[in-house]
Each structure stands twice: as C-alpha cells, then as structure tokens.
Structure 1
Amino acid sequence: MKYPVTVYGDPILRKRAQEIDKDYPNLKEVIENMWETMYYSDGVGLAAPQVGMSIRLFVVDASSGADDEPELENFQKVFINPEILEVDGEKWVMNEGCLSLPEIREDVSRHDEVTLRYFDENFEEHTETFKGFAGRVIQHEYDHLDGKLFIDYLSPLRKRLLKSKLISISQGKVIPAYRIKVPAK
C-alpha cells in the first residue's frame, strides 16, 4: 500500500521520532509499504515521519548512485533506531530534494561519511560507516528522525527566498506525481 507523503507544515516533520522495538505493530508491513511509497514517489530514501509515523525508521535505496560508486549496486537497507556515532570526512555540496518538500531542490553541504549503529528489519544490530552518496542519503533521512529538514542547512536569505514555495506546499498548492498529505489547518 502506498502511503500519502506528509509535506512541509505538518508538525510531525519537526518532532523527534520515538524508538520502537521488534514488537512494533505490523512492522514488516510498514516497511514494505514504505518501500512501495518511496519507489512510487521516485525517492532514494524515506523516513517514517514522512508518512505520518513518528518512529525511528527509514529506508534507503542508494543504488542509483552505482554509476559513480559501483559498490552501491543493490544498496537497499532498512534502518531502525539508528544512532549516529560519528560524522567525518570532507564536507561536500550536492543538490538535494525531499519528498516532503516537493518542487524544492537546493545545494546542501554535508560530511562525506557517517558511522551509525542501527537495527535492520530483522532487529539484528549493525555498526557501519557509509560514505559518498549513501552517506549523504542516510544523513538526510536521519535528520527526519530528529525533526530536521534539509532547508534547515540553508542561509537565512535562501530560506526567505523559498518562503512562498514553502507556504504553497503547506497549503497543498503543489501537485507532485505522488499522493501527499497536507497539514490540517
């Protein structure tokens, strides 16, 4: 089942999400639905708050970066209760977008690598370091779990220039190719 994507203006996107355990109701189904929603919406990552669930869970498919980084071929991972242990490496700029901010793309500077401890979909614990494109996508999705959006990295001037677009998104005046959930007034 494809979830509607929660868009800018909904308070859930600014809230710190809660940890879950292996007994979270219908967890397998939630993960399957998140994959389906992400692929349908043409995303490379999707965090649970983006589909209205304030839980510490996100999915990432960074295989689209395999042309530049061959090790990303078949890179599909589920991250449950992730905890960033370290961010490292040079900062680099990339143009980012977000399903919760349709029609907005901006250059964002992030560190090249991130080390996290997390559980996979079988609740097996992992500690791994991710670099390059995968590391960037993971940092972006992790931010969602802490109530942070990529626009928070922009200069005050750039944010002011985006204000009318953000208002349009929060009022549902955008029409992406996927279903959205506009904040209640």
Structure 2
Amino acid sequence: MANRLTDSSTGSLTIAELGNPVLRSPAKAVSNIQDPAFQQLIDDLISTTIECNGVGIAAPQVSQSLRLFIVASRPNIRYLHAPKMAPTPMINPQILSYSDAVVMGWEGCLSVPGLRGLVKRSKEIEVLYTDRHGQQQQRTFTDFVARIIQHEYDHINGKVFLDRVESTLDLMSEAEYHSRIVCG
C-alpha cells in the first residue's frame, strides 16, 4: 500500500482535490483486507470523515487507489438533516441494482471544496460489499444513504459529482447553498 499523507495540524488524512489524477482513475480491488496497514487506513478514513464534517469518503480521495469507501451519515454542519448511522466501511463494493425511482438532491464533496451541485440519483440501491472483517454483506439502502453510496461509488470509478450535474445552472457555492437552501 502506498504511503498516506497526514495533515499534522488535525491528524486527518490529506484530501486530494479536483485536478489530482487519482480522482479520475478507477481504483484497484483490495486483496488483503486483514493487512494492518489497510485496517489502519479504514480507521484513518473514518476519523477524516468525522473531522472534515463529511458523510462519506473514498480511498482515492486520500490518494489511495483502492476500492474502499466509508459511509458515515450523521447530522453535521455540512449536512444538517443527515440520518445517523454507524460508520460503515465498504470494500470492493458492487451496486447490484438501482431503483427506477430517482431523486434530485444537492451534493457536496470534500475533494471539490466550496461547491454544491444538484444531482439525480436512484432512490434505492442494493449493494454487495465486503466488510472490514472479510465478510460479504448484501444490503439495500434508500434515500440519503443511497445517495452517499452512489457518490462514493463514483469516486472508486474515477468520477466526481460534477460529472453528473446536468447543467451549470445546477451549481452553487457552499455559502450560497447554506444561505438559500439550508437556511432559506
């Protein structure tokens, strides 16, 4: 596994931002889940997500080209109405099915700071993934958590939410989003 960068001021991992090639490359499958360095990466991703007020993060966002992401939905300053769930690592995930029902929703991204975009996502998805203990899990997710998973799944496939925005008119600054949409 490649070296990880850490921000010494916060202890969190350094976030790769838009323009970094790692964000545009499909990630590699994880083969040794029990490797202590990989288990530490999981813990570091969870910590980084919480410290950065995210609701999810993918390994490519910290310059690790691995098919791993964390879903850690909870209310915070960036997502006031997010449902609460325990941080869930998803290793080598596959989305098995997408509902026909789709919903538009505002998304932000730690790798695209200061910007929000209106993105169409499936309301419900079925996901097959390996957990941090090496056990396969197959679960159905809905609504905001399904959105997070689809967003993070895009990251491990070399995409960012901007690729899914239908019009530049569906973009706004983070500050405008909070003043108009959240507090409006």
Same fold per superposition (TM over 0.5): yes
- Give the structure 1 partner of residue 26 of structure 2: 16
Alignment of 1:101-116 (within 5 A): 101-116=112-127
Distance 1:23 1:54 in 2: 17
1:114 deviates by 1.1
- Partner residue of 1:92 out of 90, 103, 126: 103
Structure 1 residue ranges without an equivalent (≥5): 166-185
Confirm whether residue 149 of structure 1 aligns to residue 160 of structure 2: yes
TM-score by length of 1: 0.78
- Deviation, 1:73, is 3.4
Preserved contact between residue 63 and residue 76 of structure 1 (Cα < 8 Å)? no
Distance 1:77 1:23, change over 3 A: closer
Identity of aligned residues (%): 34
- Shift in Å, 1:74: 3.0
Give the distance between the partners of 2:36 and 2:20, measured in 1 at CA.
23
2:51 aligned with 1:40: yes
Opposite residue 22 of structure 2, the aligned amino acid is I
Q: Would you say 1:139 and 2:139 are equivalent positions?
A: no
Q: Quote the residue 2:85 is aligned against.
A: 74
Say what the alpha-carbon RMSD is for the aligned residues.
2.3
Q: Deviations over 1:71-100 (max 9, x none)?
A: x53342110000111111411111100000
The separation in 1 between residues aligned to 2:100 and 2:55, in whole angstroms, is 22
- Rounded to whole Å, the distance in 2 between the matches of 1:25 and 1:149 is 29
Do the aligned residues in 1 keep the contact of 2:46 with 2:87 (CA within 8 Å)?
no
Are the equivalent residues in 1 in contact too, given 2:124–2:141 (CA < 8 A)? yes
- Tell me the matched-pair count: 158
Alpha-carbon contact 1:81-1:118 (below 8 Å) kept: yes
Larger RCO (alpha carbons 8 Å, 6+ apart): 1
- Offset, 1:137: 0.3
Call closer, same or farther: CA 1:68–1:6 in 2, change over 3 Å: closer
Matched residue type, 1:8: L
Normalised to the residue count of structure 2, the TM-score between the two structures is: 0.79
Structure 1 residue 35, shift from structure 2 partner: 0.9
Per the alignment, in what secondary structure is the counterpart of residue 64 of structure 2? coil
Unaligned runs of 5+ in 2: 1-10, 174-184
CA distance in 1, matches of 2:84, 2:49: 18
